[in-house]
Structure formats: structure tokens, C-alpha cells
Structure 1
Amino acid sequence: MGELLEKVEKYWDKRADGYCQVNLSELNSFKREAWINLINQYAPKIRKRKLKVLDIGTGPGFFAIIMASCGYEVTAVDYTETMLQRAKNNAGVYRDNITFKRMDAHRLEFQDNTFDLIITRNLTWNLERPQEAYREWHRVLTEGGKLLNFDANWYLHVHDAEKRKEYEQDRRNTLEKNFEDHYTSTNTEAMEAIARNLPLSREHRPAWDAKELLKIGFKKIMIDTEIGAKVWDEEELVNYGSTPMFMVAGEK
């Protein structure tokens, strides 16, 4: 394990309980149906068998659970053992419909052409070698399979002065509206220290991702930079005003 990957794992291990609560709240809100509708809009149409879904960086299991509730065959992987335990507990009645595995997103232990759909959220910015991970994800997709990656320029502000100003304005806006600040409630200093050394903290995305996915061999790229408007509540929209969630999707 690389030193940076170890730091990322330790950070998320400590955040497992808090992040778990966030996911459980999502499961009991409008977000559950919003995400199901959004993902199914792009998912490949498969006949005569179940859609095979891989959730990479499942965390406490939100995507895996909602996909299992659609009747799909779901595999969920995460590098952090604590997150996988939370995901198994959260899955409830869907636990037997999800295969949970501890795995490094850069090196997937699956055969080529295994999954029809790969979904991932807030993972790629954590990766030490994102191009390598994208190549792996392309490898395990079936022909015509789709990758749906939901992420944001979460820590661009550690390198970009203008983004830092926008980030600080988000903090003031959050305070003015009397919302919980999602940054000050976590160990921001620890994550910023890690983020400075992560390659995607320097990139302007999703333009970077689209270029890389085409290089790797994805045939068709789709981008939506307004995902937050569909799946975030008002508190999130204010907290993350300068870091809107995007979707970058690729078809093999």
C-alpha cells in the first residue's frame, strides 16, 4: 500500500460513522428516488437477465442498496474495511442481494467484460493514479457497458486562489443561512493536507476526465454539470456552491 493511499484510508476510517449517518439520511429522503431515476436514465437496457452493477468506493453502501432495490445483481467494493462493515449493516433486507468485497479501485479482481454498469460517487478525487483506475474500470465493463462517475472539484481550492475565495464565500453563505457547515464539521486540515498531494486536486474537472476516458477507449462521453440540482437539498447546494457535483459518463 502506498503512503498516500494509507493516509486516505485512515481518514475515511475515522469518518465512517459520520458518513454512514449521511447515507442513512439519504436513504430516507427524496434523494433515494432521485438517484434511482438518474442512474436508470443512463443504465444500459439488458434483456433476459439481471443488470450487473459494480459500485466502486461504496462507502456506507448507498448506491449498492438502491441498485439492489431495483432488482439488479450488485457487487460493491471499497478499500476501507470499516466502510464495508457499515455498508453490510445498512443493507438490511438487501444484504443477500449485494456482494461486498474489499478492493483497491486501481486493481480490480474481476474478469474482463464482467459488468454492465459501473457507478461511483466522490471517489476519483481520492485516487493516487486515476488514469490507471479508469483503465481498470474500462476493462471490467461489457461492450456497450456504461461508467457513471459522480464527483466534484472538491479540493481545487488548495491550489487555485480564485477557487479558495469562492470556497470561503460558501462558508460565509452557510453561516448566514444558519446551516451546518459540512467542512468545519470534519477534519478539514487533515483532508486538505492529503488533497494537496492527490493529482486530481489540481485538475479542472470533468474536462480532464472526459479527455482521459476518450484516450482509454470509451466510445461515447456524456457530461452533466448540474447533478446537484437533482440530488442535493438546499443545505448541500449552499455548502458546495463553488464545487457543483458533475457526472462524467462513458460508454464502452
Structure 2
Amino acid sequence: MTIKFLAEDDRPREKFLLKGKNSLSDSELLAIIMGSGSRDESALDLARKIMASVNNNWHQLSLLSSKDLTKFKGVGEVKAISIIAALEIGRRRSVQEIPYKPIISNSDDAYLILKNQLSDLRTEEFWAIFMNQSNKVIHISKLTQGGISQSVVDVRILFKTALDHFSTGIIIAHNHPSGSLKPSKEDINITKKIREAGETLSIQLLDHIIITQDTYLSFSDEGLL
């Protein structure tokens, strides 16, 4: 079913799904926020009328009160609150700083990010740092936790997370509660498996770090990748 055959209230949502958020006009975005129109007009027609009343200016719309909005036929208190709440979210977003994304340039940078999570644990956990092409950290995730001597990671989950965040590089890490820095046979095998899977997806495994209570071992520094 193409967009033109849908009820007009459904068209902005369908367009969003088919073409993405950037394809929507201001009126279409407002129609999605409202969800429905009135008995006499669709949500899109109502949205066009509201936007026209403020010269298609979001700032001017944000100045309207709930009482102002309910003057439009088809806008009750619930819709008015939804519109005001959405605009308030936009206002708060605009004044917030973009979260600082550290850049990892060596194994010590990665260790400093993860040591507080892993150094004092009594059981093993497997974590990953996901980075963009500039080696900026875009996501950090704990993938598994296990027993005293082993934590098995699902490679599919690791790379699904990487793809979800458009990551081009990853650093994996786990702790050794025993205090030993020596990689186990399983550590070496999973590193190889992840590296090879990453090559297929063009997502580079940059390092695997083993963390103990007070120090770490880097596969990259040791030439084990």
C-alpha cells in the first residue's frame, strides 16, 4: 500500500517509516505529535492550520499556552499538552551540551575508561567500547557476566551493538579476578573469532584488554591481535 491510499492521519507516520524523519514537513511532524484530527479535518490539515497561525515558526508555536491551542477545533487539553511537552523537550535539548566523547589513542586510555567497572569484581565480566572513525567513544556496554574463571560473549550481540551505533572500531575487555594477566586459550580464541568477524563487517577490533585489580594487559601492545 502506498502513502496516497492511506487515511490522511496515517500518512505522516507512514512517510516517517518509509523515508525517515528528515523527509517530514513541519506540519507533518506536528500531525504525528497530535495523533489525530477532528471530525471535520485530518490531523495534517489541523497541523497546517496551527502552523500557519504562527507563520510556520516553532518558536512562535512554543509561546502558545494550552488555552491558546485549545481554541483550534479538534485540539483538546490532551493534544495541547502533547504539543507543549514536545516543544519543551526540543527547548531542553537545544540548551544541553553534547556529551563529551573521549578519544582513545592507546591502550592506557581504554584501561582508564574501564578500570572502575572491572578491576575489583569477583566474577568475570565482558565489556566493549565502541568508537567512530576518529576513535571517539560513542558507546560503552557490558555484554556478559559469568563465573569466577570465565565469561562467554556472544559475538552476534557484540556486532549487533556495533552496527546499531554505526561503530567502525571496537575494543573488548574483560577482567581476571584471579589477578593473572596471562591470556587463556579461550581469551585467544575469542579474540581471533571477533577479529575475523569484524573484518567481514569492516569493523576493526583495535584491542582486547585483560584487567586485574591494579594493572592490565593489552593484546595490541603485546602483538597478540
- Say yes or no: TM over 0.5: no
TM-score, length-scaled by structure 1 = 0.23
TM-score, normalised relative to structure 2: 0.25
Larger radius of gyration: 2
